[in-house]
Structure 1
Amino acid sequence: MPSCKTSCTPAHAMLLGLAAVAVLIVLSAGLIELGAASPEVFTNSFLVRLIGDHGNDVAHQVAKRNGFINLGPVLGSDKEFHFIHRALPHIRTKRSIPHTRQLKADPLVELAVQQIGFRREKRGYRELKLGAENLVPPKEPNDPYFPFQWYLKNVGQNGGKRRLDLNVEAAWAQGYTGKNVTTAIMDDGVDYMHPDLRNNYNSKASYDFSSNDPFPYPRYTDDWFNSHGTRCAGEVAAIRDNRVCGVGVAYDSKVAGIRMLDQPYMTDLIEANSMGHEPNLIDIYSASWGPTDDGKTVDGPRNATMRAIVRGVNEGRRGLGNIYVWASGDGGEDDDCNCDGYAASMWTISINSAINNGENAHYDESCSSTLASTFSNGAKDPHTGVATTDLYGKCTKTHSGTSAAAPEAAGVFALALEANPNLSWRDIQHLSVLTSKRNSLYDSKGRFNWIMNGVGLEFNHLFGFGVLDAGAMVALARLWKTVPARYHCDAGTLATVREISSNRSLLIHIDTDACKGTDTEVNYVEHVQAVITLNASRRGDVNIFLYSPMGTRSMILSRRPNDDDRHDGFTKWPFMTTHTWAENPRGRWTLEVKFDSQLPQSGYLKEWTLVIHGTRDPPYRDLPVEDENSKLAIVKKAHEAGYKI
């Protein structure tokens, strides 16, 4: 949904209260770990809602008289607060009924819910050595590790392909280095005393939600496990020309640390407060983590976290919307990032990775929700990863995984926001689609080819619309006109139970006029969601495809060989595709469900709801075309010709 300050109609404003119907529908319970195989665990944290708007002082009193500690409001609320009880174990297998009853018995308490704990894992190639390298004397006047930063300037080092990089030098040459933009690294902390970070550290936008203090310094471990956030921060904002480590993509931008990943189990309240922290000081939130990448988990943000993200894109940055960048996942070909409710969310920008010769990394997950790609490992030497800052003033050349890819994207977006501070969160997504390049990216196993959608945009199931091009993005950002108001059209629901047989595809159709003539008419697609409920004898063997009226085929669920689930299935799960971007949604949409298995399987599709998100008016009508071969020119011609190319 758009911000009502920038691109909202009265009819559209009503959608804000729905809090993203098609997304939240599956998460409205807010407290269950979707698709989790392990038993539930309960933390010593409680969500407490007071009767009336009493504020934080009264919440402190309520907590104290019941033996709790109030850690503060949830998302700045005057009614909802985060309580903890020190006498309770951090983790237990049974819910504490007495403590919940005690809170509910208080005359000022309307609701008390003990928080479930769930796993969130950092995304990084785990075979790489965790550790640090000592600073080496620079061989040239500037940053000693810049020659190793092939993702910034690829000259063929370490077996890479020349000019396969983020093209940041072209952005820097235009005068854009990220000034006045802040990126928050939501992770295990940031070494803000690092000589390559300290002058670019934004302390006002930082916080430690793991320890509940303003100092998100990483907790010490012998194996340097908590170096993850510091490495990500350096990719975005490492200082240039200080003879320390390397250079950040946006080396004059600011970086904030949000420490929230360093506890045994995550809770909804920690995630929510992290993603809603200082939304007018923070422009970009970068997340290199997610549900377990084991190929059998189906999980995503809970209620409060989803509310934080939706509020961020609607109200953050003073109405322009915060940009949430997410790593697509490290589960490899055995997993599918459409089963990750963070990476597959339309409110986030899902970023995958490539290695320095153009191949996908072996840990890359594929899915139709990935928008674009950046870089991670080197090809010839598996220990040549991303060169960046490390803990305790050190540097490393071994940062890796889609963990490394997401901060690179955040840096590119910081350059674009400096070039045009009025860009909305949706503008950044449009710019990513229009300026990303196919370059030399390819699937090393030949599973996924580059395909052209109905308006001439090339996409790949692994790489989205290509590798981000910083030079092209800032150039177009300078000329950019904010895209028209965005609507979502509920295009139809099929709720008749249909059997999925073992030996043939189930094909069903929804014919739609895309809400033509109504307040939510969509003529130009951005995101499309297929909200699906199904059960199968083996969930991991289910494949699902969505076909658009213009003939674009999106694989919205691939085979996951480790997923043996036969009970949970999917319940109103919002599978999402970006592959039909800028198409005309009017006509017949087809859903294909089938099994990919050597053994007989059975299942039932219980419900399919089609939700189309996009604009009524042409999004690029007022933009000048400087290159007749650009994606912008191709799409504009397609739109002007009535989508016929």
Structure 2
Amino acid sequence: MTKKTTLNLIAASLLVALNQANAQSFDNNSDNYDPTKHVWEYTYQLAGGDPLVFQQWHLQNTGQTAGAANPGKEGIDLNLDFTHRRGIFGQGINIAIIDDGLATYHPDLTSNVAQGTTPNPDPYIYEYFSRGRNRIDNHGTMVAGIAAASAFNNHGGRGVAPNATLTGANLIGNQSNVPGLALAIRSVMDMDGAVQPMNKFTDARVINQSIGYTFSDPTIYNTYLGFFENIADVQKIAATQSHGGRGSASIKSAGNDHFIGGRWSDREKGELTLVYPNAYALPAYNTSVADPSNANFWNITVSALNANGTLANYSSAGSAVLLGAPAGEYGVHSPAIVTTDLPKWCKDQAQNECEYPVYTNGMNGTSAAAPALSGATALIMSANHQLSWRDVKHLMITTATKVHADSTPRTIGDFEAIPGWQVNAAGLAFHNDYGFGLVNVDAAVEKALQTGTILPELKVRNYDVSVSGDSAIYDNFAATQSVHTQTENLTVEGVQVRLSLEHERLGDLSIELISPSNTRSVLLHAGTDLEGNKFDNTLMLSNHFYGETAKGDWKLRIVDTNAKDGWSERTYDVASGEFIADSVVNLPQRADKYQPNNSQPGNLIGWNIRFYGH
């Protein structure tokens, strides 16, 4: 058995080498060659060797359908063709998949699985019965295939970083034996209680979390402060103490909570009517408030794009989003993601009764966007191992592609509830739906190959802000404002706000932070499905100010908009990835969710601002 395995590995290595050689034999002397263009502005055909790769639009979007009724838009992809032609496939980078386990025996995954010295959670897949039907834990297997399925082996498709290694941690599966996210991260980083040096090959350089929470109670962060801070502390260790100080990047899905309900208004045409808990069809949840883990600076939060280059209908968004990545719609009217899957399961841990694994064209959600970004991160790290996780993050931010350029602000009357694209004082365009845009692998890799360490040591500064003057939050768009004057200068990488206030209808509130350069970041848009009557040290994060100077006056503004005076619905055309014009219909609030307007002004109690920068 050992000899056979060795021969197979040798044959696979020869096949990879042959395809790399073929991939790099392209013609730069064609009539349309333009020497003024950058290498990442050209499109090169992906090498063969994987029968489904031509349908993997997230790798290269040529307008294919991936089994759906309608095609995507050419060019809406990770732009990694030249990186792959260079032979950069994620070599030497380990990606941890914290999920429901992954099928280590899958022919497109098995050669990339590298278990660490710390025993990892059981990776095997089991059938189980729950809520009236048989179920299977296949989510982690689909996620792993997007990030790092093998290439050039004549099986299925390939991963974004097909030569990266994979480590599985079973946190959310039926057979999970890791009781918490912090312990799962310790597992894939080979940490013990004393925190080992973490410089081994099997320590994760990229930690993928296609998982998350959705809370309607904004006090959840402070209620479970120890839980969330423990996760952040472990991620900080992974980011600052691993890999010789270069650190590991934690990639996290933004969430799938754009709306609170939906129905097919015309299934044949792919028209989906979405329901919102406000009168203006504003998203039901905001990234960092719905899931405090998104407000954790040590996470890189990613939203989901469809194959047309707009926000997928389900994707959460907000100021905590750093980048967007391909994920698709449902694979029926518009493409979803082609990746590894299990049609059935292994019935026993000894793997004696296993159905043969296959593939799916139906993976979507921000769960799919996260491993796409994890694979992209691995490619950039593989191009230049000297770079820290912050350096790689910087390269992705500064080279990202602006998508949905004609998107318009969303308003409540004349009030701009959610801005469109805004250019901050550092010259970087930012959008609450897409962060700094769609990750552009070829552009980031080209810069990675030409640079050394980019960013100096990270500095963190924390300030409690005393609230002076009238702290009441009045109805009818009368803004309540508080100011922090920052005297020490920093170049901003991220800004967190912890906010305490009282208000009888929290869904009315718009919360904004305005930088000394007059960049307005909407930390929490109005109309969310928040419940309760207070914020209690509620944590929010903005990536909007990246690269700006911190010195000067930072203004916190709270505006009561009356957005919750009704509900609404809006129709989304899944095939085009656009909302149908003039399709917003106002509805009365549901009786079981009715919230009367506040009978008295709210009150700003206090806030804290924390700068991450250099």
Question: C-alpha separation between the residues in 2 aligned to 1:198 and 1:265?
Answer: 20
Check the 8 A contact 2:465/2:484 in 1, yes or no: no
- Cα deviation, residue 208, structure 1: 4.7
Q: Secondary structure at the match of 1:185?
A: strand
Q: Which SS does the other structure have where 1:243 is aligned? A: coil
Q: Give the whole-Å Cα distance in 2 for the aligned partners of 1:511 and 1:360.
A: 34
- Tell me the percent identity: 27
The answer to whether 1:248 aligns with 2:159 is: yes
Between the aligned partners of 1:592 and 1:167, the Cα distance in structure 2 is 39
**CA distance in structure 1 between the partners assigned to 2:61 and 2:219 by the alignment:** 36
Shift of 1:439: 3.9
SS of the equivalent of 2:147 reads helix
Q: Distance in 2 between matches of 1:363 and 1:585?
A: 34
Match of 1:600 among 584, 597, 602: 597
Once the two structures are TM-superposed, the CA of residue 586 in structure 1 deviates from its matched residue by 1.6
Counterpart of 1:583 (choices 518, 542, 548) is 548
Conserved 8 A contact 2:96-2:188: no
Measure the CA separation in 1 of the matches of 2:118 and 2:161: 18
- What residue in structure 1 maps to residue 304 of structure 2? 353
Give secondary structure in 1 for the equivalent of 2:140.
helix
Partner residue of 1:329 out of 243, 248, 255: 255
Give the match for residue 127 of structure 2: 220
Q: Describe the shift of the 1:525–1:552 C-alpha distance in structure 2 as closer, same or farther (beyond 3 A).
A: same
Distance verdict in 2 for CA 1:286–1:603, change over 3 Å: same
Question: What is the CA–CA distance in structure 1 between the aligned matches of 2:48 and 2:544, rounded to whole Å?
Answer: 45
Rate the CA distance shift 1:529–1:174 in 2: closer, same or farther, 3 A: same
Say which of 510, 532, 535 aligns to 1:543. Answer: 510
Amino acid of the structure 2 residue aligned with 1:237: A
What is the deviation of 1:560? 4.5
User: 1:604-623 counterparts in 2 under 5 A?
Assistant: 604-615=603-614
Q: 1:165 is aligned with what amino acid?
A: D
Equivalent residues of 1:253, 1:414 under 8 A apart: yes
Closer, same or farther: CA 204–492 of 1 in aligned 2, 3 Å: closer
Structure 2 counterpart SS, 1:412: helix
Pairwise CA RMSD: 2.5
Contact 2:287 2:316 in 1 (8 A): yes
| Counterpart pick for 2:63 among 140, 151, 156 | 156
Q: Select the residue among 482, 485, 501 that pairs with 1:512.
A: 485
For residues 303-342 of structure 1, the aligned pairs below 5 Å read 303-332=229-258, 333-339=283-289, 340-342=291-293
3-state DSSP of counterpart to 2:163: coil
Corresponding residue to 2:208 among 261, 265, 286: 286
Question: How many angstroms apart in 2 are the aligned matches of 1:470 and 1:227?
Answer: 28
Structure 1 gaps of 5+ residues are 1-139, 210-214, 516-521, 616-645
1:528 corresponding residue in structure 2: 495
Residue 465 of structure 2 corresponds to residue 493 of structure 1: yes
Cα offsets for 1:59-94 (capped at 9, x unmatched): xxxxxxxxxxxxxxxxxxxxxxxxxxxxxxxxxxxx
Give the drift of 1:304: 3.0
1:387 and 2:338 equivalent? yes
Equivalence for 1:410: 374
In 2, the alpha carbon distance for the partners of 1:178 and 1:560 equals: 42
1:541–1:559 contact (8 Å) kept in structure 2: yes
Q: For 2:134 and 2:156, locate their aligned partners in 1 and report how far apart those are by CA, in whole Å.
A: 21
- Contact 2:501/2:604, CA 8 A, preserved across alignment: yes
Q: Deviations over 1:188-211 (max 9, x none)?
A: 0000100000001112268554xx
Q: CA deviation at 1:277?
A: 1.9
Between the aligned partners of 1:542 and 1:266, the Cα distance in structure 2 is: 41
Letter in 2 for 1:307: D
The answer on 1:363 being equivalent to 2:314 is: yes
Change (3 A) 1:298 1:511: closer
Question: Could you list the per-position Cα deviations for residues 557-580 of structure 1 after superposition, in whole angstroms to 9, with x for gaps in the alignment?
Answer: 1234432322xx222222111111
Deviation at 1:526, TM superposition (A): 0.8
Q: Distance in 2 between matches of 1:614 and 1:584?
A: 9
In structure 2, distance between residues paired with 1:388 and 1:474: 24
Q: Does 1:261 align with 2:232?
A: no
The Cα shift of 1:326 comes to: 0.3
1:480 Cα shift?
Answer: 2.8
Cα drift, residue 513 of structure 1: 3.9
CA distance in 1, matches of 2:362, 2:310: 18
Q: TM-score of the superposition, structure 2-length normalised?
A: 0.71
Match of 2:98 in 1: 186
Q: Tell me the distance in 2 between the aligned counterparts of 1:458 and 1:540.
A: 28
Counterpart AA for 2:479: L
- Higher mean C-alpha deviation, range 319-328 or range 168-177: 168-177
1:475 — aligned with what? 446
Tell me if the contact between 1:164 and 1:440 (Cα under 8 Å) persists in the aligned partners.
no
Aligned pairs for 1:406-445 (under 5 A) are 406-440=370-404, 443=407
Cα–Cα, structure 1 residues 507 and 405, in superposed 2: closer, same or farther, change >3 Å? same
Change (3 A) 1:354 1:293: farther
Shift of 1:176: 0.8
Does the 8 Å contact 2:307/2:335 carry over to 1?
Answer: no
Question: Which residue does 1:231 correspond to in 2?
Answer: 142
